[in-house]
Structure formats: structure tokens, C-alpha cells
Amino acid sequence: MKPFLIVLCCLLFPLFGCSIREIHEQIKIVENLSCVIEGNIKLTSEQKGPVIIQLFHDENGIITLASTRIASGKGDFQFSAIPGTYYVAAFIDVNQDGLYQQEEHGNYHGIPSRIDVLPEQIVSLGTIIISGQVPKAETEIKPIKKINAAWENIGQVVTLYDARFSRDNYAMGFWKPFDFLEQAEGGLFFLHEYQQDKVPVIFVHGVNGGPTDWEKVIESVDNKFFQPWVLYYPSGLRLDMISNYLVEAVFILQKKYGFTEFCIIAHSMGGLVTRSFVKKYVAHSPKNSRNLRLVMTINSPMEGLSAAAAGVKHSPLVVPSWRDVEPGSEFLQDINNWNWPQEIPYYLIVSYVSGKSGDGVVSLQSQVSLKLQTESKRMYVFNNDHVGTLYDEYFLALFNRILGK
């Protein structure tokens, strides 16, 4: 049996009665999420504050708030979307509460104008100028506020024993990401109430994984100085969508709590999400590179997985995230052609199993490209399998020594 088919069977086993047709339908929906709506904001208003862009979805005349973005330093914004009809509005968040107030200046795209998006289409809206009060709309938008649970869960306090953190849900997130978002929800969770004097450490899991993968690592963290947060996401989604969410979640929390410094620790495919996050986070403002105290990736397939390529080529069910992890994918080219900022300390952790070319899942070649070696502050190699390093007492000691520097 080919390796990718073995992996496929292992991943299918926990799904029990989940039908192939249901999985196929969910994957088909995710593939349609490659639609993009993008544009730029130009300010001629005297008001100061972050610019918030809102995407409204028109579903048979019922208009809902689908997503929000904070404009980059250059005023750029981008949304991922499913095919459908949308409107876009933007405003200057003067009091920085994330909500529009009548005295805050803003504008629509158009009057506002319908934006019809087709599958795999990129729609460029051009420039939206904000010069004063929001003009009276010829087409009035009266949205029903609809916030995905993953957005509501940004900063929610939970424990690692939360019922949503289960292996069945991790598998659901891989094969049926929309069911996951409805049932397991996802989010950027706190494990304790926020404390201003402690540095946040964000843990990013890998494919078919979740927050409990970090149990031993999190237990080892010195809670006198650090506060652990966990990113929880369906690993079947396209990775740009996950990193976009993490960028927005971090901005929301920074605005709410006023912190700057934080760390990110990522395992497996989470390393790809993290590199994409850092690229986008720094793109908003080069000053953001000063905020990252350290970034660490552990056993990450930075050059891709041959099993993902085999799955894309041969499997009747192509999980969307496989397309990003396939060697040579557009996503991998984008994050690997980008140069890591020298100001951000990057630690590269790799593993191998004796007698094998990697950790049993990811090859050494994919974990340790020459570019990664030159970008990292230090590289450490462990004789462990793909998940074993997260439980290795020598790694835990090393991790906390690096974290405490």
C-alpha cells in the first residue's frame, strides 16, 4: 500500500460513520473559498485611528456581517470569500472599540454597490476614499450581526480539558472543516485570564491536531513570566485562511489589551501557518517585527510533503490544505521566497528517527532547507519521531531555556 493511502486510512478510521459524500461536499465548499475581494483605503479625513473594513454577505436579501479586517499601513485589505454577493464598508475606528460610531468617518465601496463574486475569482475594488461622515446610502445596508464562533472565541478562557479539544474533532477539522467550525468552533483561546505583566506564548498545532498536543509543553511553561494561548483551527482549510485569521486575532487582542511583545511556537504544518502569519504581520508595518520575542518551528514540512502531493494526484478526496503542503505549491513558494526579518529570533527544531530520512512523517530535507538554516538563530536536532519531540524532557528543558532568554 502506498504511504499516502496508509495515511488516508489512518485518518479515515476515527470518522466512523462519516460518509464519503459528506466529506466531498465539505471539501468542495472549501475549494470555492479561493475567491478573493481586495482593495485599498485612502484617507483625506483628519480623524486618527485604525481603519476597519467590513465585508457584508447578501444571502437572498438577508445581509449579514461576514468578516472584518484592519487595513495595512499602506491601506491595503483582502478578504477570502465563497461565491456570492457582497458589500464592503470601511470606517476610522477613532475610539478603537472595533464598532462603528456615527461620529466616525467612513465610506462604502460604491453607493454601496453589489460585489458579485464567482468561484476562484479575484475581485479588485480599487480605492475607497474616506474623507468625512459616511454618505447617505442609495442602497441601505441593514445588517443582521453574524459573528462566527471562532471570532467570538478570540481571547476566551478555557482549559486543555475543554470538550471541544478532542481527537474526533481534530479529525473532523481535517475532513469536514465546516462541521468543525459549527461544532468545535475553533479560536485563539487563553488558558488563564489575561495578565498584563506576562508575555503571551501562542501555540500553533499541526495537521489533524489540536491544543492537547501541547499539553506537556504548556505544563512546562513558567507561568510567572508567560501566559500560554492556543490557536485551534480546522486543519483541512487552506493555510492562507488560517494565517489571515491569526493576524486579525492578534491585532484584535493587541488593541484590546495594549501588549506588544509575544512569542509563537508551532509544530508540523503549524510552522507553515506561522511563517505565513509572520510575513503578513510584518507586512502591515515593519515595526511589528520588534514585537515577536521569538518564533520556533518544530518538525515542520517547510519544503512540503510528498505524501500531500501523492494525495492531490491520486486520492479521490483532495483535502484543501494538501494543495498548500504539496512541494512546489504556490503557498510554499510565497512563504519561502520571502526573507525572514533579522530582528525576529527564529529557532529551528528538527527530528529524525534512526535509520530513516526524517521523523517518520517529514523528511529532513523538508525540515532543514539551507535557507531555513541561514535564517535561524539556532538549529537543534532531536532523535525522535514526529510527535515525540513534544514530550522529550531534553526538548522541554531546551524550550524553556530559549523562552527565558
**Which of 69-73, 99-103, 131-135, 246-250 is modeled with the greatest confidence?**
246-250
pLDDT recorded at residue 316: 61
pLDDT recorded at residue 19: 60
What pTM does this model have? 0.77
- In total, the chain counts a number of residues equal to 405
Q: Name which residue leads in pLDDT, 201 or 35.
A: 201
144 pLDDT band, cuts 50/70/90, is low
pLDDT recorded at residue 161: 94
Are 66 and 117 spatial neighbours (Cβ–Cβ below 8 Å)?
A: no
pLDDT recorded at residue 15: 42
Judge residue 392's burial from the number of C-beta atoms within 10 Å of its C-beta, 0-12 exposed, 13-18 middle, 19 or more buried. Answer: middle
All three cell numbers of 197, joined, read: 505583566
Instruction: Average the pLDDT over each of 8-17, 72-81, 261-270, 272-281 and give the range with the smallest value.
Output: 8-17
pLDDT recorded at residue 83: 87
DSSP state of 16: T
Q: Which domains does the chain carry? A: 33-130 (2.60.40.10), 149-403 (3.40.50.1820)
What is the helix (H) or strand (E) element at residue 193, kind and residue range? none
**Which of 2-11, 14-23, 327-336 is modeled with the greatest confidence?**
327-336
Q: What's the rounded Cα separation, in Å, for the pair 125 and 78? A: 10
Q: What's the rounded Cα separation, in Å, for the pair 156 and 158? A: 6
pLDDT recorded at residue 140: 64
- pLDDT for residue 6 is more than 90: no
72 pLDDT band, cuts 50/70/90, is confident
Percent of the chain residues topping a pLDDT of 70: 86
The per-residue pLDDT of the chain, averaged, comes to: 87
Percent of the chain residues topping a pLDDT of 90: 63
Phi first, then psi: what are they for 312, rounded to 5°? -60, -40
Phi first, then psi: what are they for 10, rounded to 5°? -65, -35
| Partners of 298 in the β-ladder | 267, 349
